[in-house]
Structure 1
């Protein structure tokens, strides 16, 4: 079978368009509400999620929040959180939402990487996900929780960057969606103030020691 040069050009353009449409189906947006809503916890609101929305109602969401306060407003997919602890737990949580939409037989993979190591697991194994038993499940977790903190040697008082990557796969193990965020844990303002005062005190003592011999010589 022969194709004219014009036909080949047309075929190539059609394939390129198909490839573009296929690759453009993934839509990752920032600082968004979840279309599926947020049902985890009492008093916590929807919003400030990094979201991947796909065909068939598939939606993945990730965000960071301050414990007992509310979600952190990100810059892109970067969330700034305070380092430090309360009762041994980090002052911030990571929160996720997995909605496979109309698809069945899907599975997820959540990979967490931090200064102390990395951990990867299917978040559906977490026992208190909500809604329980439904295709949509969500949760708010803390790296200080024993089953999460141990494998990555998490220390809530240590500053550092934590990466969370959430993927959804089909029953045939084909990747359907992917969303990731970074959480930069930094010292609280009060900690910075104490550090600055500490450095100032050290500098003042060094100045006094340096100036004392000159005063005695005079």
Structure 2
């Protein structure tokens, strides 16, 4: 099949996903805990507190974690994460004040025999309860693979410039949210992975909420939440 035809088909499929819910995104998952197969595209990225949803051979995972040596990100064991506001100034040569001190990380593995469509939704608005329809959206074709190392996964920061720009390719369409991200503003940021079938019908999702706290004095709270979350995981497993 010619590339132009593939692009046309993908554009048609992704166009069908343009209508998103007018409701806010809330934490949603099948299980919350370790996702051992996930590296999130790096090394040393925590994979012990992940919102995981499984559906018909597909595994979806979302988490949030500190960027390099920034303050730790805590969680309540139920899909809410807690980070500290302000730009990243704790990473030496990797520091970037336009970046948050925290990243969000995603994982999607499709071992189903057919391809699926996946939307990654992300939030620039620090106000609570942002409508799903106001989120940025990266729509991708999720191919069927047989090995966990072929999962679609990475760790991104809301300050990354490409998340603010309209873009498209042979297997993706990116539509940014309105406005821009400011790492210095505390608030609530929500994320979701939404799985759709060939008819553009949502069949599964996983979602998290990142609560950004107002000052560095929150570090003790984050540490306490992390310890409590780990204790909860030990009890459940």
User: What does residue 102 of structure 1 align with?
Assistant: 112
Indicate the residue corresponding to 1:68 in structure 2. Answer: 68
Name 2:203's counterpart in structure 1.
Answer: 176
Q: Which residue of 1 aligns with 2:185?
A: 158
CA apart distance, 1:33 = 1.5
CA contact (8 A) 1:93 1:142 kept: yes
- Matched residues in 1 for 2:86 and 2:137: separation? 24
In the other structure, the counterpart of 1:91 is: 101
Match in the other structure for 1:199: none
Change (3 A) 1:123 1:187: farther
- The answer for the alignment partner of 1:197 in structure 2 is none
CA RMSD of aligned residues (A): 2.9
Select the structure with the greater relative contact order (CA < 8 A; seq sep ≥ 6).
2
User: How many correspondences in the alignment?
Assistant: 158
The question of whether the paired residues in 2 share the 8 Å contact of 1:124 and 1:137 is answered with no
Q: Gaps (5+ residues) in structure 1?
A: 1-25, 126-130, 193-218
How far apart, CA to CA, are the structure 1 residues paired with 2:194 and 2:44?
27
Give 1:89 deviation, angstroms: 0.9
TM-score (norm 2): 0.58
TM superposition score normalised by structure 1: 0.63
Q: Which has the larger radius of gyration?
A: 1
Give the Cα separation in 2 of the matches to 1:83 and 1:64: 14
Measure how far apart 1:100 and its partner are: 1.6
Of the candidates 126, 129, 138, which is equivalent to residue 121 of structure 1?
138
The unaligned stretches of length 5 or more in structure 2 are: 1-27, 89-95, 127-133, 143-147, 166-176, 220-237
Higher percent of residues as helix: 1
Equivalent residue for 2:54?
A: 53
